[in-house]
Amino acid sequence: MLSVALALLLTAQTPAAPRTPIVVTAQRVDRQTVHRYVAQVSQTVNGQLARLRHPVCPEVLGMPLVPGARIAARIRDVAAEAGLRVGGMGCRPNVSVFFVENGDAFVRDLRRRDPAIFAGISPADLRRVLADGEPARTWRLTQTQNEDGVAEGMRGVHRLPVRGAAYSTVRSSSVVNLAARQVVMNAVVVIERDAAIGKTLTQLADYAAMVALAGARPPASGAAPADTILSLFNPGGGAPMRLTRLDFEYLAALYRFPADRRAPHQIARMSEHIAAALRTERRD
């Protein structure tokens, strides 16, 4: 369980389901649009793009068992298709998706009951998470680790460790390659049930996958340079029915390249790779 506090608030973990091939929405975008999209949705942690190091293990709480299991299965399928490792049955959840009646009250109650869940989040991110009236909100607890996955400041009493401030046993670093990387230990997505009405399970799962696994920042309404599932909760609707090709390639590119690079280098390399992948798709 995420914690005793969460056990009092919501239901139990959903089981895993068999993997099925995923389908994404086809998309035609040019190189400039790709670069704008990547720059807009990317969020940095200590000058890097953070990502999970352990196998993806989603749990869905606050939703009936069958639809919850389908959302968790879709997140697993998206992760596996993008090249991430996925945990097996009985794995320890590191992606938690909550469906709640009132997001404002839920997050504030959660902070009161179990403040360690928010430990290490920057003040700006905490203000964003606690902002009133948001239909969906996400935060990720990260830790600074060296190339061997060693970090100091781990807390064994809580499943969500704080973002480590120090790391040790560093063997190499350079102007481009850093001696450390930002590792996502746990990702939390909170979605209000009223906001989920009218959305498909695929849309909800794909949105959760992008914000939890990629840490992608949803664009402001009308500001996205291309169609993206990240606009799912923007006023006015119009979101795609599933991950777009651009969304999927962003997630895949994030986990394709080494994690110990500085953010500008990571973003530039990802942008070029995504643009090339989309050019190949158009030729096919």
Instruction: Name the residue with higher pLDDT: 88 or 3.
Output: 88
201, 74 in Cβ contact below 8 A? yes
Residue matched to tokens 């599933």:
242
Q: Give the whole-number percent of the chain exceeding pLDDT 70.
A: 80
pLDDT of residue 157: 27
Q: What is the mean pLDDT of residues 225-232?
A: 93
Q: Which of 228, 251, 223, 252 is nearest to 241 (CA)?
A: 228
The packing angle between helices 263-283 and 31-41, to 10°, is 140
Query: How many CB atoms are closer than 10 A to CB 171?
Result: 8
173, 179 in Cβ contact below 8 A? yes
Residue matched to tokens 């949105």:
207
Outline where DSSP puts E strands in 85-236: 95-100, 136-146, 180-192
Record the pTM.
0.84
Q: How confident is the model at residue 73 (pLDDT cuts 50, 70, 90)?
A: very high
* Rama region for 47: left / alpha / beta (φ>0; ψ in -120 to 50; rest): left
State how far the Cα of 185 lies from the Cα of 53, in Å rounded to an integer.
8
What is the SS3 assignment for 151?
Answer: coil
Q: What is the mean pLDDT of residues 269-283?
A: 86
Q: How confident is the model at residue 72 (pLDDT cuts 50, 70, 90)?
A: very high
What is the token pair recorded at 230? 């990240």
Average pLDDT, the chain: 83
Beta-strand relationship, 95-100 and 180-192: parallel
Q: Is the pLDDT of residue 4 over 70?
A: no
What is the token pair recorded at 68? 């919850």
Query: How many CB atoms are closer than 10 A to CB 118?
Result: 19
5, 113 in Cβ contact below 8 A? yes
pLDDT of residue 177: 61
Q: Which of 209, 44, 210 is nearest to 122 (CA)?
A: 44
Question: What confidence tens digit (pLDDT) does each residue in 135-180 have?
Answer: 999 999 988 887 767 774 443 323 343 333 333 344 444 555 667 8
Beta-strand relationship, 51-52 and 180-192: parallel
pLDDT of residue 219: 87
pLDDT of residue 117: 84
Query: How many CB atoms are closer than 10 A to CB 39?
Result: 13
Q: Is the pLDDT of residue 215 over 50?
A: yes
Question: What confidence tens digit (pLDDT) does each residue in 8-65 have?
Answer: 344 434 444 455 566 676 677 899 999 999 999 999 998 999 999 999 999 999 999 9
